[in-house]
Amino acid sequence: MDGKVCVVTGATSGIGKATATALARLGAQVVLVARDRGRGEATAAEVAAAGASPPGLEIADLASMAQVRALAGRLGALERIDVLVNNAGLMAGQRRVTADGLDEVFAVNHLAPFLLTSLLLGQLTAAAPARVITVTSGAHAGARLDLDDPQLDRGWESWRAYANSKLANILFTRELARRLEGTAVTANCAHPGLVRTRFGREARLPMRAAVTLARPVMLPARRGARTIVYLATSPQVAQTSGAYFVDDYLDLEAQAHVFDGVIVSTISDVLMIGTGWSSWKKSRISPTVADSGCLAGVVSISSAAVRETSSTGPG
């Protein structure tokens, strides 16, 4: 991984921190994305001790689409991006609406990686071969995705909101991979397993209690990061795209559970995001059209959000 630039979101704890540390040990130049500057700087010091060079650090609240756009602008100044790891995520105990009018869980878990990836396609295609890895969860199997109410404005439930966002991660990965065919940029997603991290600390009491009881049998963070590092580095998956991995293995059963390509594409085209990407382009993405208005997300948006978004992609 010498000379490779790897961007990792949600990098200050748990799987994100373990992934960043492992990539640094392999010689990559890591860029950490954190919400809190103090924790970000502390993590950067630890990652620097593991690698040959100090990591970069970017601060952004991924619940804000404006901050995601600003983050993408700063990352766009990098000479190259070889690997993008969309790891940041949360499970909330109660519904919170962001300044953009979006459900916070859906915004952080799905829309942020969706938008960040979209805005960085130019850097990724220019650096190809490049890889996009999105951290999802086996919780997707419990999703009940209502295309008329993807943000659960009617009847929000903590577990359902999380599960739906994780299914959206997989749908996004499948369709992104299809549209990246021919670019030498791959897109895959991974379920890291039941990992002992700070994740779920904001969930409702029953979930927090279940997590506490399960902690003795949970995997350490470095073990949970293994599949993500494998997808970011292994030559064995250099040509693999649009897949769902568990424990370094392609999970064919889970892939069959998720909709086929026709339905995935239909869902992506039906509901457009409130992040500025107005529509999917039907052509393939290439270095010359990487700024196309593409990569539809599964979300309904308010008229205010529509007015605030732009109709053009990055230049």
Both structure tokens of 47: 């990652």
- Would residue 162 show up in a list of annotated catalytic residues for this protein? yes
| φ, ψ for residue 62, nearest 5 deg | -75, 0
pLDDT per residue as tens digits for the range 199-231: 555 545 555 555 555 555 556 667 888 899 999
Judge whether 184 and 3 are in contact, CB under 8 Å.
no
Given the residues 162, 230, 244, 249, the one annotated as active site: 162
- Of 41 and 248, the structure prediction assigns the larger pLDDT to 41
Q: Comparing 18-32, 179-193, 251-265, 285-299, which segment has the lowest mean pLDDT?
A: 285-299
Q: How confident is the model at residue 195 (pLDDT cuts 50, 70, 90)?
A: low
Q: What pLDDT shows up at residue 164?
A: 87
Which domains are present in the chain?
A: 5-258 (3.40.50.720)
| Structure confidence by residue, pLDDT tens digits, 249-265 | 665 555 544 444 434 44
